[in-house]
Amino acid sequence: METLFQNVVNALQWGSFYALIALGYTLVYGVLQLINFAHGDIFMVGAYIAFFVASFFLGDAVPFDLSRTAVLALTIPLTMILTSCVGVLLERIAYKPLRRKGAHRLYVVITALMCGLILENGNLALLGASRRSLPELIDKTVYTLGGIAVTNLKLWVIFTAVLVFVILQFVVMRTKIGMAMRAVSWDKFALPLMGIPLDTVILFTFILGSGIAGLGGMLFAMSYPVLDPYMGAMVGWKAFIAAVVGGIGDIRGAFIGGFLLAFIEIMVAAFLPSTFRDLFAFTILLAILWWRPTGLFGVPHTTKI
Amino acid sequence: MLLSVENLYAGYGNVEAIHGITFHVNKGEIVTLIGANGAGKSTTLKAIMRLQPPEAPRLIKGDIKLNGNSIVDVKPHMVVNRLRMALVPEGRHIFGNLSVMENLVIATWNRRKDPHVHRDMGRIFELFPRLAERRTQRADTLSGGEQQMLAVGRALMTNCEILLLDEPSMGLAPLLMHEMFRTLSELNKQGLTIVVVEQNAHLALKTAHRGYVLDTGQVVAEGPSEKLATDPEVRKAYLGG
C-alpha cells in the first residue's frame, strides 16, 4: 500500500513534467496546426538557461551576496523570459518565412524536427559533452506521512504544474487574446477580418508555450540536476504523445494526458520488470487512440456549408 | 467617392484572376458586383480587404483607394481597425468553437476604449433576435441562416463604415435571402455604405443603387440598378432572359 502511494507521488511529479511540455505542444498545434517537434529541445534549452542564470547570480560576477531564495526568485522569471525568446526566435527564423510562402504543413513539421536537432547539436558544439548540474536552489526537506516520503521539491513541481494549468485555462477561456487563440484554431482566414493581427496571436502562443517549457526545464533540472543536450528529446517525444492522447489542441487534454502517461509508466514499472515500461505504456496509449482517434478531449472539426 | 478601385489586376500564384477592374463606391450607397461563378467577384473583395496569400489573391497591378488614399500597403487588420472597412466572407467563416456572444466580442478587439460597444451589441441583437436567443450556444450549432446573421453581426461589431459582403445569400432559403437583403437596406438607411457581391442578380439589383457586371475578370457593364435590370444584354446573359 505504501509503495503504491509512493508511486502515485512519483507519477504526479513525472506527470507534471510531461504536462508542462505537452501544454506547449498543444498550444502551438491549436493555433498553427503545427507539431512543433523542436519543443522538447526548448525544454532542454530552458534547463540550460536556468543553469546559466542561477550560476550567474551565485557567482562572483554579482557584487553582492544573494540568498538562494532570491536567486530562485530571479531565476524563475528570467528563465521563462529567455526561453520564450528562444521560442519566438525559432518561430521568426524558421516557421514564419515558410508560412508566408504558403508552404505545406509537412515542410514546416520537418523544419521543426531540424530545428530541434540544431538546438541539440548547437548546444553540444557550444558547450561540449560535459554534463553540468544545476546548483541547489532550495533546501531539500523530506516529509514523511505514514511511510510515504515526499520532498518539498516534488510538491512544488506538482503545485506549479497545476497552477500553470489553471492560469493557462483562464487565459485561453476568459481573455480576449485567449479567445483569439481559440478562434485561430478554428479559422485562420477570418481572424484579420476581426481586426486582429494573426502574427501577434502566434507570437503570444509561442511566448506562452516556450515560457512554460522553460519553467518545466528548470524544475526538471532542479529535481534531476544533471543536464545534457539530449535530455529534452525523449521527454519531449513522450510529452508529445501525451498531448495527442489527451486530444491535441485541447489544454485539458494535454494536462490530463501528461499525468495519464506518467501513471501508466510508473504503474507498469511498479509491477513488471522495468524493461517492459515503455513497451506497455505505449501499447496502452495506442489502445486509447484506437478507441478514440482524436484523443480523450479532441473533437473532429466540422463546418456547415 | 469613398472607395475606388482602379485598373486592378490580381491572381493566385501565376494565374491572373482579374484583369483591370475599375469601379467606385460613393458614401451611403449600396453597390453590387454581379456575374457568373468565376467572374472574379470574390477575388476582387479579398484584394480590396488586403488579405494576403495563400488564401487571398496577390495584387499584380492597380490601386485601391479609400477616401482618396491608397491602401495597397495596409495590413488587413489595419484595414478593419483604422479604415473601418469590414468583410463578410463567402462561406461565413464564423468561429464554430466559440459561442455566439464570443463571436461578436472578438470583433471588438480594437475597441477597448470604445464606450459604444455595449450599445452596438444591443443593436445587433435587435437586428437579429435569433442571435440573442442563442447567445451562449456554440456557433457551429446554429443553422446556416443563423450563421449568416452571425457573420454579418460580427462584421458590424468592428464598427465599420463600409461593409463588403461576399454572397450573403448563399445556402439560404428564399425567405431568408429576402430578409437578409431587407436588413442590408435597413443598415444602409442608417448610414452604412455597402458593397455586395451576389450570384442572385435579381435580388441584388433590386436592393442596390448601382451595379457592376463582371465577366471573366473584367467589368462588362455598369450603371444604376434599374438600368442594368432592364438592359437586354445583361438580362440575356445574367438574369435568365
Q: How confident is the model at residue A301 (pLDDT cuts 50, 70, 90)?
A: low
Cβ contacts of A104 on chain B, cutoff 8 Å = none
Whole-number percent of chain B with pLDDT over 90: 88
Note the pLDDT of residue A305. 40
Comparing CB atoms, the residue among B93, B102, B142 nearest residue A189 is B93
Residues 70-129 (B) with a CB less than 8 A from some CB of A: 75-77, 80-81, 86-87, 89, 91, 93-98, 102, 105-107, 109-110
Give the SS3 label for residue A143. strand
Which grid coordinates belong to B75?
495590413
Residue numbers in A near B76 (CB within 8 A): 192-193
Alpha helix (H) residue ranges in chain A: 2-32, 39-58, 68-90, 96-100, 105-127, 152-174, 176-186, 198-223, 231-246, 251-271, 277-291
Contact B106 A179 (CB under 8 A): yes
Compute the nearest-CA separation of B121 from chain A (Å). 15
Which amino acid is located at A25 in the chain? Y
The mean pLDDT value for A200-213 works out to: 97
Q: Are A108 and A99 in contact (CB under 8 A)?
A: yes
Quickly list DSSP for chain B.
--EEEEEEEEEETTEEEEEEEEEEE-TT-EEEEEESTTSSHHHHHHHHTT--TTTSPEEEEEEEEETTEE-TT--HHHHHHTS-EEEE-TT----TTSBHHHHHHGGGTT-TT-TTHHHHHHHHHHH-HHHHHTTTSBGGGS-HHHHHHHHHHHHHTT--SEEEEE-TTTT--HHHHHHHHHHHHHHHHTT-EEEEEES-HHHHHHH-SEEEEEETTEEEEEEEHHHHHH-HHHHHHHS--
Query: Which residue in A180, A190, A195 is closest to B93 by CB distance?
Result: A190
Would the CB atoms of B95 and A186 count as touching at under 8 Å?
A: yes
Q: Summarize the confidence of residues A166-171 as an average pLDDT.
A: 97
**What pTM, to 2 d.p., does this model score?**
0.91
Q: Do A194 and B97 touch (CB under 8 A)?
A: no
Chain A residue nearest residue B46, CA to CA: A193
Q: Do B106 and A194 make contact, defined as CB atoms within 8 angstroms? A: yes
For chain B, say whether A176 makes contact (Cβ under 8 Å). Answer: yes
Q: What is the DSSP letter of A275?
A: G
Query: What is the least distance, in Å, from the CA of A21 to any CA of chain B?
Result: 24
Tell whether A194 is within 8 A of chain B (Cβ).
Answer: yes
- Give the mutation candidate from B42, B106, B138, B169 for the A interface (greatest A CB count, under 10 A): B106
CA angle A44, A47, A53 (to 5 degrees): 140
pLDDT at B208 over 80: yes
Q: Which of B53, B75, B89 sits opposite A193 (nearest CB)?
A: B89
Q: Measured between alpha carbons, how far apart are the two ends of chain B, in Å?
A: 33
Residue B20: its pLDDT value, please?
96
CA distances from residue A26 to A190, A212, A256, A295, B81 in whole angstroms, order as listed: 21, 12, 12, 12, 30
B71 versus A130: which is more confidently predicted? B71
B218 beta partners: B215
Supply the CATH classification number for the domain A2-291.
1.10.3470
B-chain residues within 8 Å CB-CB of A186? 95-98
- Mean pLDDT highest for which of A65-69, A131-135, B219-223? B219-223
Model confidence band, residue B233 (pLDDT cutoffs 50, 70, 90): confident
**Where do the domains of chain A lie?**
2-291
Say if residue A300's pLDDT is above 90: no
Is B182 or A5 the better-scoring residue by pLDDT?
B182
Nearest CB to A195 within list B77, B97, B105:
B77
Interchain proximity A179–B89, CB inside 8 Å: no
A189–B51: do the CB atoms touch at under 8 Å? Answer: yes
> For residue A87, is pLDDT > 60?
yes
pLDDT at A303 exceeding the cut of 70: no
Indicate if the pLDDT at residue A302 is higher than 60: no
A273 touches chain B (CB under 8 A): no
CB contact (8 A) between residue B94 and residue A190: yes
Give me the mean pLDDT over the B201-227 stretch: 95
CA distance B40 to chain A (A): 19
Say how far apart CA A41 and CA A119 lie, in whole Å.
Answer: 7
- Taking the Cβ of residue A302 and every Cβ of chain B, the question of whether any pair is shorter than 8 Å is answered with yes
Q: β-strand B85-88 against B162-166: which pairing, if any?
A: parallel
Q: Which of the four pLDDT bands, split at 50, 70 and 90, describes residue B2?
A: very high
Average pLDDT over residues B122-136: 96
Which chain A residues contact residue B105 at CB under 8 A?
A: 176, 179
Minimal CA separation from B56 to chain A, in Å = 9
* Average pLDDT score over chain A: 92
**Average pLDDT across chain B, whole number:** 94
Q: What is the pLDDT of residues A179-197, one digit of tens each?
A: 999 999 999 999 999 999 9
- To the nearest whole angstrom, how far is the Cα of B230 from the nearest Cα of chain A? 33
Lookup: cell for A202: 502566434
C-alpha–C-alpha distance, residues A235 and A223, integer Å: 14
What is the spatial distance between Cα A124 and Cα B163, in angstroms, rounded to a whole number? Answer: 56
Q: Mean of the pLDDT values across residues A203-211?
A: 97
- A104: contact with B, CB 8 A cutoff: no
Q: Is residue B28's pLDDT more than 70?
A: yes
Cβ distance of A193 and B76 shorter than 8 Å? yes
